[in-house]
Amino acid sequence: MSIENLVIIGSGPAGYTAGIYAARANLSPLCIEGYQSGGLLMLTSDVENFPGFPHGMMGPELMANFRKQAERFGTRFVSKNATRVDFSSFPLKVYIENEEVQTKSVIIATGASTKWLGLESESRLLGKGVSSCATCDGAFFKGAKLIIVGGGDSAMEEATFLTRFASQVTVVHRKDQLRASKIMQDRAFKNPKINFVWDSEVLEILGNDAVTGARVKNIKTGKTEEIPCEGFFVAIGHEPNTGFLKDQIDLDPKGYIVMPKRPTTLTSRPGVFAAGDVQDTIYRQAITAAASGCQAAIDVERYLETLH
């Protein structure tokens, strides 16, 4: 069995950029892009904040361009999922279903999945007023009334950010107090554009071709009401796609990959690197994921030189 120089697990901006850089370094990388290739941008209609595209671009089209560029330089692709890994000995082993691939190095770029409410109306109106990224989509809602669901730091940060554009932001939270840190709470409470609906859950997002409001139920009283809005943001967290890595590398309590040697992209295992949202709890942008994919590929190139 031949041993690969590099296996990239995952696609999206991080995985594809790692492929571009590694292929240009003549490493002939193998990218296991998964059945759902392209990452979270595949769910994004207009991407207006990626540099170089002044008129914006559709998320899937942008990812198709990333992939073509990686392929042009010699990245090979497998459109299946990596199901498990064995990093206990050299060469490292990655399993694509039951097939074993041996490799000298690995870049993990499996990303993080948005936690959704699980409503039919939520998936139907995704990209038509429903979003999980205020930084990405806030500018589309100038002067609009918005709803955001969540009670943690990221929800308060996104609510505060959205007030730059929106006329009003309504925070809907299941409890009667926030989980967010004191400083984030204070900032939100002091903002005249933010109001709160406590002890409540969203039953349905209203609208056919665009969001028009939300039906909300008070958990304590059972009373329902309809709140009009033009945009609906979900901010109940992300879940890193690291289930297949358990006991193989160090993960933090939330499942994100621990990066002990920043600013490098090295994980707790020699030869194993990580890029993109799978190790990023702060920024979660396409541009930062792409940048870390570039860093990981350069780190791999330098690591492989030490093996000779």
Write the DSSP string, 40-56: GGGG-SEE-SSTT-TT-
Residue 274: which H helix or E strand, with range? strand 272-274
Residue 95 pairs in a beta bridge with 84, 100
Task: Examine the residue annotation and report whether 136 is marked as an active-site residue of this protein.
Answer: yes
- Secondary structure of 53-79 in the HEC alphabet? CCCCEEHHHHHHHHHHHHHHCCCEEEC
Query: How far apart, in Å, are the Cα atoms of 249 and each of 19, 29, 237, 265, 281?
Result: 22, 21, 23, 13, 17
Alpha-carbon distance 163 to 176, whole Å? 22
Query: How far apart, in Å, are the Cα atoms of 196 and each of 18, 42, 222, 236, 304?
Result: 42, 32, 17, 16, 53
Alpha-carbon distance 249 to 240, whole Å? 14
Tracing tokens 């990066």 back to the chain, one arrives at 259
Strands 213-218 and 200-206: antiparallel
Residue 38 CB contacts under 8 Å (≥ 6 apart), including other chains: 11, 12, 59, 60, 63, 64, 67
Tracing tokens 């190139």 back to the chain, one arrives at 301
Catalytic option among 31, 46, 86, 133: 133
Residue 32 CB contacts under 8 Å (≥ 6 apart), including other chains: 7, 8, 9, 10, 78, 80, 81, 82, 94, 96, 101
Catalytic option among 31, 46, 86, 137: 137
Could you give the residue numbers annotated as active site? Answer: 133, 136-137
